[in-house]
Amino acid sequence: MRLSALYRRAVLTVATVVSMLAATSCTQYWGIEKKHGEVSRAVLIFLGGNNNLQNYMRNNLYDIYESSSLPGYTSDTVVLVFEHFNQESPRLKRCYRTDNGNVISEILTVYEESFSSATAECFAQVEKDAFSRFPARSKGLIISSHGSAWMPEGYYSFPIDFSEARIQQFISERALDEGIVKGAEEIIQGKSISSDNNNDREIDIIEWAKAINEHYEFICMDACFMSSIEVAYEMRHTADYILASPTEILAYGYPYQAVFDNLIKGGETNLKNFCSEMLDYHVQAGRTCTISLIKCSELEPLASYCKTLYAAHSAEKAAVSPYLVQPFFRYSDDWFYDFGDYVEQFVTASEYQTFCGYLNRVIIAKANTSRFLSLPINKNSGFNTYIPKARYPKLNAYYKTLEWNKATSSIGE
C-alpha cells in the first residue's frame, strides 16, 4: 500500500528539520563523523533529480520507505541515499526503519548548492563520503536520472551533426514526450547519465567509469538507453552485474515497491528475479518496459569474438541498412539499435550461433513487453548499440574513444 499523506509528511519533516540545522555552512556532517564498523552490505541510491524528474524520484524514494526490505538501524545492511532536487541543497542520508515501524531519514552530509549531481567529481565525492562512513563487504549502487547511453556530453540535447531543419524537428518531437520518459526534458536535455539544471552539466560515461573508486556487486541504472554494449563495456570493471534498459524508461522509473527486495538481498538469483518481477509489474499495470541483467565478467570474450567478426565482415557490416534492424528509439534519434539483430545482418548463420553463445553468457536475464510505448519490440538481444553513419562525423569521432571501439574496431582508428 502507498504511504499515507500524513506519514509521508512525517518522513519529510524528519529530513527537513535536520537539513535546516545542517544548511548553515557549505558542507556539514551530522551525527556520524566517526567511521562506523564494517557492515555486511550497503546500497547507495544516487538520485540526480535537479531536473523535471524530481517528483517521480521522490515517489520512488517513498516506495523504498514503504518496502518491508528497508533495514533497521542495527541491521548489518545499510541504505544510503544521495538526493539532489530543485531548489534544495544536495544531501547524503541514511534511511532505516525503527523497531516500531517508523522510517528515519538521517542526514549525514549537506553539500553546498553549487555541488552538481551531474559531474563525475561529484559522484566520486558522494561515493567517498558514503563508504568512508559505512565500509561494506558488498556494495550495490542505484543511479536514477536522465540517460542517453554512451553519447558525449551535450550531444543528445543538441546533436551538432544535425542540420538546422532536423534540429527543429528533433526539438518538436521531444516536446511531445515531456513528463513521459526519462530521456526527455523541457529543453530537450538527454545525457550519458544524470543531469543538473543548475549548470546544464551531464556525466560523460568515460569520465564516470574512471571516477568510480568502489567495486559494486551490481549497478542498477534507472535511466534511458543504458543497457548498451558500449556502456556495459566501459563500465565492465566497476561491477559484477549491471541492470539497465536498452530502450527509454518511463518517467515513473523502476517499480521499487515490487523489486527493491531483490536489490537489498543481491546475488545473481535475486537480480534475475528483479527482471521478471519488473515485467510482471508493468504488465499488470498496463505499462511498457524493457530490462536486462548484464554479467560483466563475460564482456571481454564477447568483445574478442566481435572483433573477429567485424574484421572478417567489414564490407558486409558497412552495407547493413539500419532500416532492417530492430530500433530501440522513437522519432529522429537513430543512435540505438538492437545489438544482436545488427550483428545477425552481416555474419553467417554459424557465426551468429557462436555469437549468441557469447552474448547469452553476458545477458543472463532480460524481459520486455511487446512494445515500448508506440515502439514494437519484435527482437531484443538485451543490448542496444550504435550503427555508424557517415552523416554523424562528430559523433563517430567520439565513438572511437570508447573502450568498446578500442576493443573491437567497430569504426576503426
pLDDT value at residue 29: 42
pTM: 0.88
pLDDT value at residue 295: 98
pLDDT value at residue 10: 40
pLDDT value at residue 102: 95
pLDDT value at residue 87: 83
pLDDT value at residue 5: 32
Task: Categorize the per-residue pLDDT at 26 as very low, low, confident or very high, splitting at 50, 70 and 90.
Answer: very low
pLDDT (mean) for 67-95: 94
pLDDT (mean) for 149-159: 83
Q: How far apart are CA 155 and CA 183, in angstroms?
A: 13
Residue 171 has pLDDT above 70, yes or no: no
pLDDT digits (tens, 9 = 90+) for 283-311: 999 999 999 999 999 999 999 999 999 99
pLDDT digits (tens, 9 = 90+) for 317-352: 999 999 999 999 998 779 999 999 999 999 999 999
pLDDT (mean) for 379-387: 98
pLDDT digits (tens, 9 = 90+) for 178-223: 556 665 443 333 334 544 444 455 788 999 999 999 999 999 999 9
DSSP letter at 215 equals -
Per DSSP bridges, beta strands 136-144 and 39-49 are parallel
Residue 149 has pLDDT above 80, yes or no: yes
Looking at the domain that runs over 5-150+191-296, which CATH code has it been given?
A: 3.40.50.11970
Tell me the percentage of the chain whose pLDDT exceeds 70: 82
pLDDT (mean) for 99-106: 94
Residue 160 has pLDDT above 70, yes or no: yes
Mean pLDDT of the chain: 86
pLDDT value at residue 51: 86
pLDDT value at residue 150: 95
